[in-house]
Amino acid sequence: MDNCIFCKIAAKIMPSEIVYEDDTLLAFKDINPAAPVHLLVIPKQHIGTLSDCGSADAGLLAQMLLLAPKLAKEFGCALTNDANNGLTGGYRTMINTGPDGGQEVYHLHLHVIGGPRPWRGRR
Ligand code: AMP
Ligand code: ZN
């Protein structure tokens, strides 16, 4: 897609802070982070929205979602549970879809948001 900024990031025509890459996915830092950790996971292939996905994309969506806890661990916001402190850490995973969903970039992306609170303007 010629005019898609995330396709340009995937093609490395546009710079980004890449934190993960494999054959199908790319993850990079959000340029306007809402929290201490704010990463975006995208398919390299252009898909506009979650609503454009079908059963053929089930594996891709699973890969995107399952990358989140790995990135969270790498970036220090894994969910942990120990006898002394109970549940700590954790992160938010979010896919915004369409105008009412608050989607600004029409290339499917999964937000992975975490780190010590408070976070900017979000609960
Ligand atoms: P959404 O509202 O779900 O479409 O989120 C789009 C996200 O992309 C926002 O959090 C933006 O800050 C982020 N974003 C936009 N352009 C870039 C870019 N060039 N590099 C990294 N993140 C970006
Ligand atoms: Zn795209």
pLDDT tens, residue by residue, 16-49: 999 999 999 999 999 999 999 999 999 999 999 9
In this structure, which ligand is nearest to the CA of 13? 1
Q: Which residues contact 46 (CB under 8 A, 6 or more apart)?
A: 1, 4, 6, 7, 107
% the chain with pLDDT above 70: 98
Count of other CB atoms within 10 angstroms of residue 8:
16
Mean pLDDT (the chain, rounded): 96
Residue 122 confidence (pLDDT) above 80 = no
88 CA distance to ligand 1 centroid (A)?
27
The model carries a pTM of 0.97
| Nearest ligand 1 atom to alpha carbon 29 | 21
Bridge partner list, 87? 81
Query: Is the backbone peptide bond immediately before 118 cis, with ω within 30 degrees of 0?
Result: yes
Cite the active site residues.
109
Per-residue pLDDT, averaged over 7-20, amounts to: 98
> Which pLDDT does position 123 carry in this prediction?
61
pLDDT digits (tens, 9 = 90+) for 84-100: 999 999 999 999 999 99
